[in-house]
Chain A
Amino acid sequence: MTQPFPFSAIVGQEQMKLALILTAIDPGLGGVLVFGDRGTGKSTAVRALAALLPPITAVSDCPVNSESRGDCPDWAEITSDNLVKRPTPVVDLPLGVTEDRVSGALDIERALTRGEKAFEPGLLAAANRGYLYIDEVNLLEDHIVDLLLDVAQSGVNAVEREGLSIRHPARFVLIGSGNPEEGELRPQLLDRFGLSVDIATPDSIDDRIEVIRRRDAFETDTKAFMTRWRRADGRIRKKIMTARDTLHQTEAPDDILRDCAALSLALGTDGLRGELTLMRAARAYAAFKAAARIDRSHLRNIAAMALSHRLRRDPLDEAGSTTRVNRVVKDLLG
């Protein structure tokens, strides 16, 4: 495993970094979609997040990272109560993956050698309580997408095949990245992502140079570079942990809820999922900023990432959907 680039050393791309941090604070937000051109650091940021996240406590032998022995699925035949700390799982879903590998299947080794019918957990089991990352999500094959949508919705992976009947919890944050030039995403899948950000190469020459300098420094002397950025990464991690604790005490005043509804209405987003995500994201953001209650400044900052992918297309508006959201936010919230 190669060392990931430190999260805090990523130049710019504030919206993407913020979106990733928000899902770390509130995993219920429902994932992040990062769309951007080639060479803008999409994959870098996601892999960096893995290193940044605080470790989780899990039963040592449990294939689905259960918190206590009672939560372990029966088929796993867990015998020890041993608890271990392990890094938050970030599971890569490769493009060519087969359905067997994703949902789990008959354990061929045991079937062949011992003639036993046993279940070999797949990627969904490994991603439980963590992250599932799909690079080039728009190129993923349809039957895998359907499978993922179903599991992401229910939080349970059910396998009924080859004489097996298995279920296990599969709660994960879905992170997708892709290049819009290579194909669009089905609206059903778009809607499942809580937040979405569009990223581009930084405009200013100085920023670009900084990116190149840091990347080059990282590649030539990884160890020194990691030491230099460890403190900054630690600070973000601490803020995430604090925000997780205060998340439930963060108030959502009535006028903010009214603002959320007004925003969704003005933008004509489909369904109530938009409003709900907007409110939850604003709460996570307020907690991250150590505020006791959500105010309009929080809404302003996260409205675009919570709503931009839920808009209906307006053929005459050439500005991107992010710009449209920001325009409406400015009209409504001042």
Chain B
Amino acid sequence: MSAPAASARYAARALAALSVDPIGLKGMVVQARVGPARTAFEAVLPRLPGPLRRIPPSVSDTQLFGGLNLAATLAENRPVRDPGLQQSAATIIVPMAERITPGLAARLSRILDDDSGHIMILLDEGADEDEAPPGALLDRLAFHVDLNDVPARGARFLLPAPADIADARGRLPQVAYHDDAAGKMTAIAARFGIDSLRAPLLALRTARALAALDHCDHVEEEHLREAAEMVFPSRARAFPAPDDPQTTDDPGTDGRTDDDESADPTTIPDEILVDAVAARLPHDLLEQNLRRERSRNRSGGNGAGARKIGNRRGRPLPSRPGKPDGRNRIDPVATLRVAAPWQRLRRRNDTAGRSVIIDPSDIRIRRFEERSDRLLIFAVDASGSSAAARLAEAKGAVELLLARAYAKRDQVALIAFRGQEANLLLPPTRSLVQGKRRLAALPGGGGTPLAAGLQAAASLMQVSRRQGMHPMLALLTDARANIGLDGTPGRAAAWSEARTLAGQIHALGLASVVVDISVRPGHQAEQLATDLGGDYLALPRADARRISRAVDTALDG
């Protein structure tokens, strides 16, 4: 039999450390799609302390925190409470961890913060880099292991014997470490751009658990190194800055380098330790972090139509078995339908002589699909530089999209900017008549207050997002900004203001597309699209039909 793969060795070591100090280390995130490696990993989980519990990402609060058991309460005529997962220490396995909502993450974090000895194993099956468990949990759990590249042959997880773990647990309180260990760990974390102070703390506790496992009463250098290797790489936000002062011109690392110099010599991290962590960093670290920042904005708990299945409104979905927990609604017809076939059988054993007998397991819960409206915001440049003819095309495109909006449940809003300011010509609407009337009244000519247009769009997007809509921006302009936010002319200032605002819209995670409508497409509009993080379409000669189709495709993708 072949030796276990490197990541499998790390995973096994992490599991061993977790069994020794569950309160301090909290758990681990395992990135693994279904496969032999994951199967082998899950097979060793029962060896962790505490009973094994598996919870789906849709777990209810009653299951987590306990609550009244309605069925038993009614049957026994006294309140019967179900204990929640929180009550007793357990190993909690969460499959499909990438689907945990921020709300559930906050609840799970609360359970972890109680320090009652829960171990949490998140099985992250994210297919894209965009999919990841919520940061609140990633920050609290000590370890992060990627088993995706482990071949079937290497998927072996060797844990220490139970007696050894029990011995290590007993030894743990006595394990001491050298005074500067805390400083070392903190300094390394800072070198890798890790802001959360939980990281060095977790690393320190890991080192201690490892020392206990190795029958040492003192944390040695190698334990610190191993702990740093296990805890830091997945959290790193930057490659360590080289110590050479000449190479500190990278703006992102300036602050840290200053700190390193001002700190006393004992806190300068050991180069060996830094190198050990650096060796385990993923090579596309910075890209990954960038993606993570973006996806966080897109799918965070901002009420932006992220929640698609609710239980209040929208199109009905098939009912599902469930318990009434005060927030969902019972579907009486479906419940009766499930109970119907059993009535004769149940009546035979029923002493109370009831006519309809419904068991708790019959109860069906009503579900609805909650669709959030898409709001398409057109910000149209009506200045003199966008020739009047182009404006007509833009108007035509808006009308076409509006006509389709009713069928697609889209809403459309129109902002026009010309002269000194931007105006919301058409507040979010689905009404075709109203839209056409307002559009016809849109005059052209004057300067290009691009920044004002972007500002108006950004504020409308934020308001509509708070109302649960899903806003998208289609900016039709030639990007030749020449009027600033305060209405004063000046090309350079106006352009830099517009770029700043575009950057902010990007930072808010709002989808956008720039349609360059000037006769000779220039690089300015393209630059603006980059700042917005959106697509760029140069459509110098497009008619209304083509613009509307292009916008539709760009935003749908």
Contacts and interface: CB of A to CB of B under 8 A. Distances in A.
A182 B104 CA distance: 12
Nearest to B496: A316
A184 B185 CA distance: 33
B485 interface: yes
A219 B115 CA distance: 10
Contacts of A212: 182, 185-186, 197, 200-201, 204
Nearest to A37: B195
Interface stretch (B160-168, B299-307, B363-371): B299-307
Contacts of B173: 220
Contacts of A38: 135-136, 139, 196, 198
Given A109-B78, A212-B197, A318-B500, A43 B113 contact: yes
B195 A205 contact: no
A181 B196 contact: no
Given A38-B135, A38-B136, A209 B182 contact: yes
B106 A136 contact: yes
B190 interface: yes
Contacts of B205: 216, 219
Contact of A183 (B114, B196, B301): B301
Interface string B457-477: 010000000100000000000
Interface string A209-235: 101110110011000000000000000
B102 interface: yes
Please classify the interface of chain B as helix (H, G, I), strand (E, B), loop, or mixed, using the class held by over half of its residues.
helix
Contacts of A98: 326-327
Interface string A128-139: 000000011011
Interface in A103-150: 108-109, 112-113, 135-136, 138-139
Contacts of A60: none
B316 interface: no
A26 B246 CA distance: 53
A163 interface: no
B275 interface: no
Given A183-B300, A212-B204, A96 B186 contact: no
**What range describes how many residues of B lie at the interface?**
35 or more
Interface string B253-292: 0010001101100010000000000000000000000000
Contacts of B73: 108, 112
Interface stretch (B60-68, B333-341, B404-412, B534-542): B60-68
A39 interface: yes
A15 interface: no
Nearest to A99: B326
A96 B107 contact: yes
A215 B205 CA distance: 11
Given A135-B110, A138-B301, A205 B260 contact: yes
Contact of B24 (A136, A204, A219): A219
Contact of A186 (B74, B135, B196, B466): B466
Contact of B296 (A181, A203, A318): A181
B267 A205 contact: yes
A219 B21 CA distance: 12
Contacts of B399: none
B136 A179 contact: yes
B198 A39 contact: yes
A186 B198 CA distance: 29
A100 interface: yes
A94 interface: yes
Contact of A139 (B78, B103, B197, B485): B103
Contacts of B303: 183
A140 to B, nearest CB: 9
Nearest to B259: A205
Given A39-B198, A179-B136, A209-B182, A135 B260 contact: no
Interface of B: 24, 61, 64-65, 68, 73-74, 77-79, 102-103, 106-107, 110, 113-115, 134-136, 139, 173, 182-183, 185-187, 189-190, 195-201, 204-205, 255, 259-260, 262-263, 267, 296, 300-303, 326-327, 451, 455, 458, 466, 485, 497, 500-501, 504
6 contacts: A37-B195, A95-B110, A108-B73, A139-B106, A208-B197, A212-B197
Given A2-B115, A41-B197, A318-B500, 6 more contacts: A39-B198, A95-B107, A112-B77, A136-B102, A139-B102, A203-B259
